[in-house]
Chain A
């Protein structure tokens, strides 16, 4: 009875080893809670013959190997996920940037804009080396489309200049003006205009 149990156990362990060896990482994750380590220790206590001990040891080693393999695959998956996130970093980091707002027909920085820019500078300084950030200058719908292209550029430039003052390397930053061509919000009132007179920060590579 005990013998057959041990054989069964060994068989299970072998099966688990095989499964662990050839399953993909998703399968490993699903299997994880199925064979808790505690149940193996308990089984060890009930084995008293040398043969049984040897088989149990074999099973334990097999289980150990399986767990090691599982850990290796998990680590592999973790690294892959990390790489995937790194590749997606622009989108993830972009969320952390805040837009900077301007007064009508102005491109100089208000106090609140400087506060926001210093936070944005911290975000930029944490980015991986080689990451480039583009500052987009925007205007509200008032004024001529052409003059606003130039004004939007002045706004982007003001933000760029201040960021370099805060220690951001100049070659990290580029600027582009969209004038009034890309409003953040629709609307024909001051509330909408105030949200559209802005500089936005976008990771470009």
Chain B
């Protein structure tokens, strides 16, 4: 198993590295990308595969293709006849069809009760790599499929995927700006706020169970907190003036935000119940949009103290502010990568915005988007992906790309305007 993984990584790594310059090159000779077949589930009694089975294999194929780690497709090579067993794999046809790995699964739907078992096989070495069995109800099938995709990614890279996580965002489907949440792949969009006011800048708690956001529902931009499983919107900062761009600390105990209660917009830290504000910036300029480093020790933020909005980094206790972005005259929306090495942000270019990443030391400033106008980048918890809002000819909405800008894909489904996506860690 260990040697297999090592061999796999040796094959995968060049592909990933080459993807940073141009993701089409991953198929170049010598860097052949690993191929994964996902066979639609068969039922326990050998009956023909259903829509559910096809949906499940397509979910896994989508996740794995988005990861950029393998080339995946939902594929059937041989008809299933009679009683089939997950364990009995006829590797030869998969090998000759050029696949390196295979996912097989068994699905049982008894009324609303769902049982599904997935297994990942190494076709070349003719052995099983991992298996998982899930029990639930019919509506859980997508989630179980995403969960097994997480497991496949863990087997291939040593790091679990983020395919069961969700993205919260602002949209105008109901005319005004309300907050919604959807699966990371855009499925199951669900309105959270329905207050008819202006709702902005959601941010997930580290456990993914709550969000904070700014709302004008009481005629002032106040900060609210709510659980995803309840409709109660609890005001946690309704100080005079702005209570905006709230950002939950990595340990979940504090909230950084911009308040203007003492004059102009400044960065403060509150306890998570909104009490005990500590002021971090003291500056006549506008300071806002705090973003925590993953260790909670530093905060990146936007300030126009030098004339135009630029990104700065300071200690989370305040002080030692240094300018991070030195190129471009309008840089905003910083978000620290989960690994701590980079900051994603958006820069105004020709009147629109593009997503960039920059190393924390100010080097490697790299433009990731080129189409349309793109804002508010947010990282997935594993640092593999960045989501952002986009207005572009191929369709407006929430997009997901890999952290090197490859594989830009629209995930939001309904029409309408989309803003300020943020990715849950769980």
Residue of A nearest to B260 (CB): A153
The residues of A that contact B264 with a CB separation of less than 8 Å are 150, 153-154, 157
Residue of A nearest to B353 (CB): A144
The residues of B that contact A147 with a CB separation of less than 8 Å are 286, 288-289, 302, 304, 309, 332
Is A99 at the interface (CB under 8 A from chain B)? no
Compute how far the CA of A145 lies from the CA of B421 in the bound complex, rounded to whole angstroms.
13
Stretch at the interface among A18-26, A111-119, A174-182: A174-182
The residues of A that contact B375 with a CB separation of less than 8 Å are 144
- Find out whether the CB atom of A146 lies under 8 angstroms from the CB atom of B332: yes
B250 to chain A, nearest CB (A): 21
Is A151 at the interface (CB under 8 A from chain B)? yes
The residues of B that contact A105 with a CB separation of less than 8 Å are 308
The residues of A that contact B245 with a CB separation of less than 8 Å are 146
B414 to chain A, nearest CB (A): 21
Compute how far the CA of A55 lies from the CA of B363 in the bound complex, rounded to whole angstroms.
108
Bitwise, B170-188 to A at CB < 8 A (1) or not (0) is 0000000100000000000
How many chain B residues sit at the interface, stated as a range, is: 20 to 34
The residues of A that contact B219 with a CB separation of less than 8 Å are 176
The residues of A that contact B309 with a CB separation of less than 8 Å are 143-144, 147
Q: Interface residue count for A (Cβ, 8 Å)?
A: 19
The residues of B that contact A181 with a CB separation of less than 8 Å are 177, 198, 200, 216
Is A142 at the interface (CB under 8 A from chain B)? yes
Bitwise, A3-38 to B at CB < 8 A (1) or not (0) is 000000000000000000000000000000000000
Interface residues of B in 391-426 (CB under 8 A from A): 419-420
- Find out whether the CB atom of B351 lies under 8 angstroms from the CB atom of A146: no
Residue from B201, B258, B260 whose CB has the most chain A CB atoms within 10 Å: B260
Compute how far the CA of A192 lies from the CA of B239 in the bound complex, rounded to whole angstroms.
32
Is A184 at the interface (CB under 8 A from chain B)? no
Compute how far the CA of A156 lies from the CA of B304 in the bound complex, rounded to whole angstroms.
18
Bitwise, B134-171 to A at CB < 8 A (1) or not (0) is 00000000000000000000000000000000000000
Is B265 at the interface (CB under 8 A from chain A)? yes
- Find out whether the CB atom of B198 lies under 8 angstroms from the CB atom of A177: no
> Closest 3 A-B residue pairs measured CB to CB?
A150-B265, A150-B286, A144-B332
Complex A-B: 14 CB contacts under 8 Å: A105-B308, A145-B200, A146-B200, A146-B201, A146-B289, A146-B332, A147-B304, A147-B309, A149-B200, A149-B265, A150-B244, A151-B286, A177-B221, A181-B216
Instruction: Give chain A's interface residues, CB within 8 Å of chain B.
Output: 105, 142-147, 149-151, 153-154, 157, 175-178, 181-182
